[in-house]
Structure 1
Amino acid sequence: MDTKTIITDTHTHLYSEEFKEDRNEMIQRAIDAGVSRFFIPAIDSSYTASMYDLEKAYPENVFLMMGLHPTHVKEDYEAELQHVKEELTKRKFYAIGEIGIDLYWDKTHLKEQQDAFRTQIQLAKEYQLPIVIHCREAFDEIFEILEEEKSDDLFGIFHCFTGTYEQAVRAISFNMKLGIGGVVTFKNGKIDQFLQQIDLQHIVLETDSPYLAPVPYRGKRNESSYILNVASKLAEIYRVSVAEIAEKTTENSKAIFGI
């Protein structure tokens, strides 16, 4: 790939504890590989300071989101949402995320998750920001809220998309791009079977590092440089060069994040 090719990782938890031994080396590996734009989702207030530190260290490369992750919606979720609201008044963010519904680990807080998702969609509209959706075993619940909230000013990314072709089409109908990561390289990932029917303009690349490493690193710690394995798989699916995948998906990321 030529040196001008820019790859965008639209979803990476670079502040994760899993990188504490070698964070700077790991980020440098990615930058050396052409991955020069990192969009950083929030989880909850306990990570805010480390997100700001990361941005300070890499001001040209790191772009922050603000939000409350659905698996961190607990009894104190209203205080956490208050933190999100306060941070939004202080500075610029590039998205509200990651937000959504996760029924894989725990179903006890479904009502709170729905409320937090709705509230944060409304914040995104207020600040004219995209949303970045986390969905695990909750397509119906998420689509129900997107249907209620749908409007021209609601747009974003369906992060780590693992649904069916029908669900992909539906997600796109809500002005969402599909975040494609390591799952596309898995033998049982299934999305590789229909992706070529989805126009490349609806796709962005992501790693979700340190999670969901692509083949051949599956089961190991993921990192942003491994996005090249995802790009290679997409190049194979769409029968275009990796450079074209990089260019188109970066263009798509700019359409969402405005940068």
Structure 2
Amino acid sequence: MSNASFFVKNMITSETYCRLDSLSFFNHSNLPENCQVLTDSIVINGSITFSLEDSLNSTDFLDFFYFSNSTFQERLNSIQEIFGNIVVMNSDLENLDFPNLRRIYNFQPTFPVILLQNNTRLSEISFPAFEKIDYFGAYNSTVLYAYSNPLLKSCQDATCQNLGQISIDPGDTDPCSNFSSSSLKSNSTLLAQIIYTDIIENSNSKSFQLFFVIYLWFYTKCGIDLNKCESSLDQQKRAFRRQIQLAFKYDMALVIHCRTGRNGDAEAECLQILKEELNKPGQHRYLRIHRHCYMENWENAKKWIEICPNIVFGFTPAVFNFSASQLEAIRNIPLNRIILETDAPYFVPSMFKDILQWVNLPGTAASAALLIAKVKNIPIGELMRHALLNTRRTYSL
């Protein structure tokens, strides 16, 4: 390996800086006012002459690490978490292996989490233990961006599955183009203990809170139903606000049921409550949200994305009965915001109705993938890979 060169912006003495080096800072409410955030990024064997800018009061001052030949892989082996980014540029590196890296806490929403550029000898990358990326601020759809790495032709399925949203320059070969759908099988089951809405208003006891922490990956299912729900709108709104607060308190994904009907516009009610709650002091707009059983149009989806930038939309086999405007929503919603679901026992695919009457199994969600992939004009394997990674990201799996 050749030597690395560094670009480090000189710190301005009149400014206040905070180093993003612990999870306690990974929340808007924990940052001191007017604090410029410094991130620890790893830059391997390359030169950096660009600046990183975003809307979150950050700076392009980065703390770069470079390891000598004798300690290079040893140091990479020791890394379990990174607060920042990984940049590999202009290197003679042949293999990039982070065997124990589990999480990246990313602060640069306008910049790839992992950037591989102009590495003429790089032929293999490996992230076998990688679990998730936590985003401080806006969600960045690109986890890994690879440009001008001519020997990087393929990756192991585990690496493709763990990294997820991979962008490849059109002139390069996608190293995950042959990603095996069989590797999805081990992640096909999500378990959760369901807490019903009528418990919510009596949920302040320590025993309930302990139960909530131990058994739940996500808080389901809540929202506003103005079609069949017998509870009044005021009762539903009060419970929904409380559920949002609990999701923040326990850092859990919120599964939202929102159904307009004869009693009013549930979409407008849900969005207004979310807009108010997500902008309260001590809370933030990036709560993980799963918009359950989505059946609205693209204009509506844009409203959800604007108010809830960390949202994913769940699609069921009901997509086979979608109208043109609903299909337009599928066509326009980005791949990094789509997950698959069944809404069992409802929406049994028509091909199974003679066999499964009022029984809907998890595997039938794959039928929705067939139509979504067709509408988006992409291979079904690509759609399934994105849906899996979006599910893992949303539910911290």
Is TM > 0.5 for Structure 1 vs Structure 2? yes
**1:211-226 alignment runs, 5 A limit:** 211-217=346-352, 220-221=357-358, 222-226=360-364
Larger RCO (CA under 8 A, 6+ residues apart): 1
Determine the structure 2 residue equivalent to 1:97.
Answer: 220
Distance 1:253 1:247 in 2: 10
Q: Please tell me the residue identity of whatever aligns with 2:212.
A: L
Determine the structure 2 residue equivalent to 1:128.
Answer: 251
* Contact 2:297/2:328 (8 A) holds in 1: no
Q: Please tell me the residue identity of whatever aligns with 1:231.
A: A
**Match 1:4 to one of 182, 206, 211:** 182
**1:1-259 alignment runs, 5 A limit:** 2=180, 4-6=182-184, 34=185, 36-39=187-190, 63-64=191-192, 66-69=194-197, 73=198, 78-79=201-202, 85=209, 87-89=211-213, 91-106=214-229, 108-137=231-260, 138-150=266-278, 151-173=284-306, 174=308, 175-188=310-323, 190-217=325-352, 220-221=357-358, 222-259=360-397
Distance 1:186 1:81 in 2: 42
* Contact 2:181/2:381 (8 A) holds in 1: no
> RMSD of the alignment, in Å?
2.6
Distance 2:200 2:181 in 1: 45
* Contact 2:315/2:340 (8 A) holds in 1: yes
Q: Structure 2: which 5+ runs fail to align?
A: 1-178, 261-265, 279-283
Find the residue that maps to 1:133 and give its secondary structure: strand
Q: Structure 1: which 5+ runs fail to align?
A: 7-33, 40-62
Find the residue that maps to 1:154 and give its secondary structure: coil
Q: 1:115 to 1:195 in 2, by over 3 A?
A: same
* Contact 1:181/1:214 (8 A) holds in 2: no
Find the residue that maps to 1:209 and give its secondary structure: coil
Q: 1:168 to 1:123 in 2, by over 3 A?
A: same
Shift of 1:107: 5.6
Distance 1:189 1:215 in 2: 20
* Contact 1:215/1:229 (8 A) holds in 2: no
Shift of 1:132: 0.5
Q: Deviations over 1:141-190 (max 9, x none)?
A: 10011111122342210000111211111222202100111221115485
Identity value in percent: 25
TM-score, scaled to structure 1: 0.69
Q: Deviations over 1:200-236 (max 9, x none)?
A: 1111111111112234346943221211211111110
Find the residue that maps to 1:216 and give its secondary structure: helix
Q: Please tell me the residue identity of whatever aligns with 1:158.
A: R
TM-score, scaled to structure 2: 0.47
* Contact 2:373/2:379 (8 A) holds in 1: yes
Shift of 1:124: 0.5
Q: Which moved more, 1:248-257 or 1:180-189?
A: 180-189
Larger proportion of helix: 1
* Contact 2:316/2:342 (8 A) holds in 1: yes
Shift of 1:80: 6.8
Larger proportion of strand: 2
Q: Deviations over 1:108-145 (max 9, x none)?
A: 42111111111011001001111000111110110011
Find the residue that maps to 1:64 and give its secondary structure: coil
Q: 1:65 to 1:161 in 2, by over 3 A?
A: farther
Q: Deviations over 1:10-38 (max 9, x none)?
A: xxxxxxxxxxxxxxxxxxxxxxxx48423
